[in-house]
Amino acid sequence: MNECTTPLWPDPSALGPVTDLYQLTMMAGYAAEGIDGKPAVFELFVRRLNPNRSYLVFAGLEQALGDLTRLRFSPEQADWLRRQPAFRHIDRRWFDALPEFRFRGDVWAMPEGTICFPGETLLRVEAALAEAQWVETFLLASLAYPTMVASKAARVVEAARGRPLYDFGARRGHGPQAGLLCARAAYLAGFAGTSHVEAARRLGIPCVGTMAHAWVQSFDDEPAAFAAFARHFPDSTTLLVDTYDTLEGARAAARIEPPPRAVRLDSGDLGTLAGQVRAILDEAGRSAVQILASGDLDEWKIAELVESGAPIDAFGVGTELITVRDAPALAMVYKLVMLDGVGRVKNAPGKRTYPLAKQVWRRYDDAGRMIGDMVTAADEHADGEPLLHPQIVGGQWVQPPPPLDQVRDACRRQRAALPDSLRLLDGTGAYPIAYSARLEAEARRLGL
């Protein structure tokens, strides 16, 4: 007793109602109309890029589909729904069957880490209408955020020109779960590690840490704090030198035995301070001690520091990464494109959707650079490599999802295949996306 009665970490085996009410009213309505079992195709795509972006990195698939295959309602949840006034006219057998309801459809998707673009189908659900409708909110909430973080992280990786990057975002996420999602997406896109312990443990990501100001404040003076830390963590000491005065802190750090692996700057003019701290360390014969910088860093600040030649060896990125601060929402949608074998469209202003189940084909030049994508109907063929692959068939994984390091390698290779103009931070690069003649004709036929 005397407890919080409403923890917000739901039982992962009962995420069925982690969705919008209208998905469930529509499911019940489809059943009442006898059309809940009609074969439907929904597609997930992004309508437009956020400012300065030229591409997206698709991420979050393993967890999204993992949850999808387990998605269900508990009997308590089903009973609660039955008692909602909105459902008063729905046959109670629908609620009785709800705890047995599962996603038993198919999912095609681009592999995680794939470089992708607006207007391309990233994921396609082929399932009974009610099942495909059910999973909309959950899929969007599970895929958009990791894709945003991975896409942002890829920009930061470009900016850092090979210097290692660490995710320090955990405390700034939109709830504790975001820290886990962010750590994974950032690593997938090329970050070198995370400070998030549980993310590192669950996902096999290198775990990194330094010290907080509280450590320094907990000792009589800074040299005592540094010496104590070096005593207990001699192999991995990173000393935070800005608690009182950064240059004094650097001088204290330079005298520590054994020498620390790195010092960390977390405030002030990082470029200038890095130069001064480097000089202090070098003069003390501590040339091997690295400098790690953190503190509201984003791709622009990192690019500027790198281009200015600031002697910074690695960067910690927190707030800007985990909140995707410059563009914290993504126009990812999930739309009905085919029902009972017939193409469907939507025509709301600015929200058009091409009909039919689709495939995306990518072409490369002889040097292995991406030169253009073609979107076709799923049963068409085009030049190049098809990007959508079956992931879930009949509600079951086709094969185990690839290890995270494999996804990370694939992502790195794909970034290397991007046209140079798309790798710039200013978002001026455009990539050719075309739709097949058949898709265009079908869209016209349906009045789009």
User: In the range 395-424, which residues lie near a second copy by CB under 8 A?
Assistant: 396-401
Q: Which amino acid is at 312?
A: I
Rounded CA separation 329/311 (Å): 34
> Cβ of residue 327: shortest distance to a second copy, in angstroms?
9
Q: Which of 2, 93, 366, 368 binds a second copy (CB under 8 A)?
A: 2
Q: Which of 51, 232, 257, 367 binds a second copy (CB under 8 A)?
A: 232
Per-residue mark of binding to a second copy, 179-208 (x: CB under 8 A): xxx--x----------xxxx-xxxx---xx
Q: 168: closest CA among 269, 297, 270?
A: 297
> Cβ of residue 112: shortest distance to a second copy, in angstroms?
11
Burial code (b: 16+ CB inside 10 Å, e: under 16) for 201-229 equals: eebebebbbbbeeebbeeeeebbebbbeb
Is the CB of 11 or the CB of 383 nearer to a second copy? 11
Rounded CA separation 44/335 (Å): 6
Is the CB of 114 or the CB of 243 nearer to a second copy? 243
Assign 120 to helix, strand or coil.
coil
Q: What residues from 15 to 34 belong to the interface with a second copy (CB under 8 A)?
A: 15, 17-26, 28-30, 32-33
> Cβ of residue 218: shortest distance to a second copy, in angstroms?
6
Q: Rounded to 5 degrees, what angle do the CA atoms 246, 247, 249 make?
A: 65
Rounded CA separation 331/345 (Å): 18
Rounded CA separation 68/388 (Å): 18
Size of the site for a second copy (CB under 8 A): 131
Is the CB of 267 or the CB of 386 nearer to a second copy? 267
Q: 156: closest CA among 191, 182, 193, 200?
A: 191
Told to check if 92 binds a second copy by CB under 8 A, we report: no
Q: What residues from 62 to 81 belong to the interface with a second copy (CB under 8 A)?
A: 62-63, 65-67, 69-70, 77, 80-81
Is the CB of 210 or the CB of 422 nearer to a second copy? 210
Q: What residues from 122 to 181 belong to the interface with a second copy (CB under 8 A)?
A: 129, 133, 136-138, 140-142, 144-145, 168, 170-181
Stretch touching a second copy by CB under 8 A, among 107-115, 156-164, 345-353, 412-420: 345-353
Assign 437 to helix, strand or coil.
helix
Beta bridge partners of 353: 346
Is the CB of 168 or the CB of 431 nearer to a second copy? 168
> Cβ of residue 423: shortest distance to a second copy, in angstroms?
25
Rounded CA separation 83/75 (Å): 13
Stretch touching a second copy by CB under 8 A, among 115-123, 213-221, 275-283, 363-371: 213-221
- Give yes or no for a contact between 293 and 287, defined as CB atoms under 8 angstroms apart: no
Q: Which of 226, 229, 361, 431 binds a second copy (CB under 8 A)?
A: 229
Is the CB of 308 or the CB of 347 nearer to a second copy? 347
Q: What residues from 287 to 326 belong to the interface with a second copy (CB under 8 A)?
A: 319, 322-325
Is the CB of 241 or the CB of 388 nearer to a second copy? 241
Rounded CA separation 442/436 (Å): 10
β-pairing, 433-435 with 370-377? parallel
Q: 442: closest CA among 341, 333, 331?
A: 341
Stretch touching a second copy by CB under 8 A, among 36-44, 274-282, 303-311, 409-417: 36-44
